[in-house]
Structure 1
Amino acid sequence: MMEKRLRLVFIGSCISVDAVLPDLTEDHYRVYVGRFLSERTTSNILMECYRHGILVSEYIKAHDYCNGFVAVIDYRLTNMVDLIAAADFIALHHFITILMEGYGMRIKGIHALTSSKAIETLLKIVKKMFGPKVSNRIHVHMNIESLYEHLPKKILPSDLGGDQESLEFISGQWNEILGTKENINYMKEMSKAVSNEAYRLKEKLNGVDLGLSGTFRSLNVD
């Protein structure tokens, strides 16, 4: 199953390509770059992007040390209206929750590259998922030059006018790492790390499982 999922991620690279860049920023943040290569975006492709993000996050948790992440999403080649229509925002919200609460990911900034006004609609939805603190760190760039005010060219891929290898090349290196037997075995082992429902208390508090069942039996107020 893990091998099949990895192959699906790689096939999706003809529609989109992404990678965590090899060099840290001066304040020790990793830079993630995702780029859509086609005007048309489907819900299946977006879901594979989420799954790929989980695979990368799991690997980084095990092997990397950084203060957090800066994300750059390049929408310049895609139709933003089609992307919004294809997006499953419930799945996106779950993905963001897993990254921030499950993996404890600290986000220094999110940078969107697009000249489409439809980005405003997307941001109205996404900002509610991140909350006010991270929402204030979301930036939209109408041109590539304004991105350099936040990230230096020396750590960016050539696709973004930087000095590093192309995003496709760096992504290929990541795919090789994620596809190694060692990492696949690690991911299989980690997939077994789930809650044991046999130990969950059967009694519920007012029909809603708040994780406090059995803690308070009654409360008398004089």
Structure 2
Amino acid sequence: MGVTVIEELPNNGFLKFKHDQLFQVRKQFNLEKPGRVQEAIKLLREWVDKQDYFNKKDFSDAYLEVLLITTKGSVERAKSRIDKLCTYRTIWPQYFTAIDINSFKENFKTFNSLILPDVTEDYTRINIFKLNSNVPLQADLILTYIKFSIIVCEYCKVHDYPSGFIIVLDYQDVNLLDLIAVLSPTQIQQMVSLYMEGYGMRIRGIHLVTTSKVSDALIKIMKQVLSKKIGDRIHVHRNYDSLHDFIPKKILPADLGGDAAPLSEMMENFLEELSTKEHMEYMRDIQQSTVDLKKKPKDSTIEEMAMTGSFRTLSVD
């Protein structure tokens, strides 16, 4: 069976790409040589076909290629990543129930979450999460956010081709104590596992925008579930000016001191993209990518991941 690789990155949708992005991102991960991507996809597909515990195996070549990008071209790591993501769908079904973004309309009064249309000069995609002012934070905030972000992650799997991600957490308009009060340590740990080990989000930086003195307490929580490498990439900004030292103003929304369109306009366009018939059909299909735990080789980490509340309770002094 032949392998079809991605030949171009179209600039006719919500996401925009630089003209040389496809080649340069492949080059970063040693996939630029002729035939290298095809070879890696072929090896990965052969492995998937042999795993009788996968409930779905017909992943597209493009899906597998983007998966390989997240593992820097490593087929072995790609095997582990697809295995974990399918397993997460099985043991944490509460996060994979959403398909239609219209079900989140009320939640968007509390937060805005989107990836920006344009990438940085090194092909990094910016992910923004902004909590809005004067809206009480509900106990199910993290659960709701994870469910929505799963839709976004799946969209990126078939439409994006970044070298990595930068996350911006804009908490300027909220009391961080209110946020910390609704955080679930277990959910945070599971969220990090989903993003890092499942979807392969290569985080190049986390930027927290807040004037609150409680930011140290929040960072303490974050560092307990992140690797030291990622934890060291957390930056706190008291205003948007210092954020611009890391992210070009020209691609940031006006609400964050940038020169691009307002966040509300970007969010509207992004939600329109996520609500297309094509994407919702894709979501229904990809959510069938689970595993049969009875057939899956024993793995001690599965039992640990499936436990709710196995993560220790965090206290903030």
Fold shared by both chains (TM-score > 0.5): yes
Identify the residue that residue 169 of structure 1 maps to in structure 2: 265
CA distance in 1, matches of 2:174, 2:121: 31
Instruction: Identify if the C-alpha distance between structure 1 residues 122 and 169 changes in structure 2 by more than 3 Å, giving closer, same or farther.
Output: same
CA distance in 1, matches of 2:259, 2:115: 15
Query: What is the RMSD of the two structures over their aligned residues, measured on CA atoms?
Result: 1.7
Aligned counterparts, 1:140-219, within 5 A: 140-200=236-296, 209=300
The answer to whether the 8 Å contact 1:19/1:167 transfers is no
Greater share of residues in strand: 1
Output one character per residue of 1:127-171: Cα deviation in whole Å (capped at 9) or x when no partner. Answer: 121111001100000111111111111010000111111112111
Identify the residue that residue 37 of structure 1 maps to in structure 2: 132
- 1:125 maps onto 2:221 in alignment: yes
Instruction: Identify if the C-alpha distance between structure 1 residues 45 and 210 changes in structure 2 by more than 3 Å, giving closer, same or farther.
Output: closer
Segments of structure 2 that go 5 or more residues without pairing to the other structure are: 1-96, 303-317
Identify the residue that residue 46 of structure 1 maps to in structure 2: 142
CA distance in 1, matches of 2:222, 2:127: 18
Identify the residue that residue 117 of structure 2 maps to in structure 1: 22
Identity, % of aligned positions? 36
Identify the residue that residue 116 of structure 1 maps to in structure 2: 212
The answer to whether the 8 Å contact 1:70/1:110 transfers is yes
- Measure how far apart 1:25 and its partner are: 0.4
Output one character per residue of 1:108-135: Cα deviation in whole Å (capped at 9) or x when no partner. Answer: 0000000111111111111121111001
- Measure how far apart 1:7 and its partner are: 2.4
- 1:67 maps onto 2:163 in alignment: yes
TM-score, with structure 2 as normaliser:
0.62
Output one character per residue of 1:14-68: Cα deviation in whole Å (capped at 9) or x when no partner. Answer: 1111210000000100001111112431222332111111110111011110011
Identify the residue that residue 217 of structure 1 maps to in structure 2: none
CA distance in 1, matches of 2:262, 2:142: 22
- Measure how far apart 1:210 and its partner are: 5.7
- Measure how far apart 1:197 and its partner are: 2.7
SS at match of 2:174: coil
Q: Quick one: which amino acid aligns to residue 145 of structure 1?
A: D
Segments of structure 1 that go 5 or more residues without pairing to the other structure are: 212-222
CA distance in 1, matches of 2:202, 2:261: 26
Q: Which deviates further from its counterpart, 43-52 or 18-27?
A: 43-52
- Count how many residue pairs are aligned between Structure 1 and Structure 2: 205
Instruction: Identify if the C-alpha distance between structure 1 residues 210 and 57 changes in structure 2 by more than 3 Å, giving closer, same or farther.
Output: closer
The answer to whether the 8 Å contact 2:211/2:238 transfers is yes
Q: Quick one: which amino acid aligns to residue 233 of structure 2?
A: R
CA distance in 2, matches of 1:157, 1:42: 26
Q: Which deviates further from its counterpart, 36-45 or 66-75?
A: 36-45
TM-score, with structure 1 as normaliser:
0.87
Q: Quick one: which amino acid aligns to residue 101 of structure 2?
A: L
SS at match of 2:140: helix
Q: Quick one: which amino acid aligns to residue 168 of structure 1?
A: S
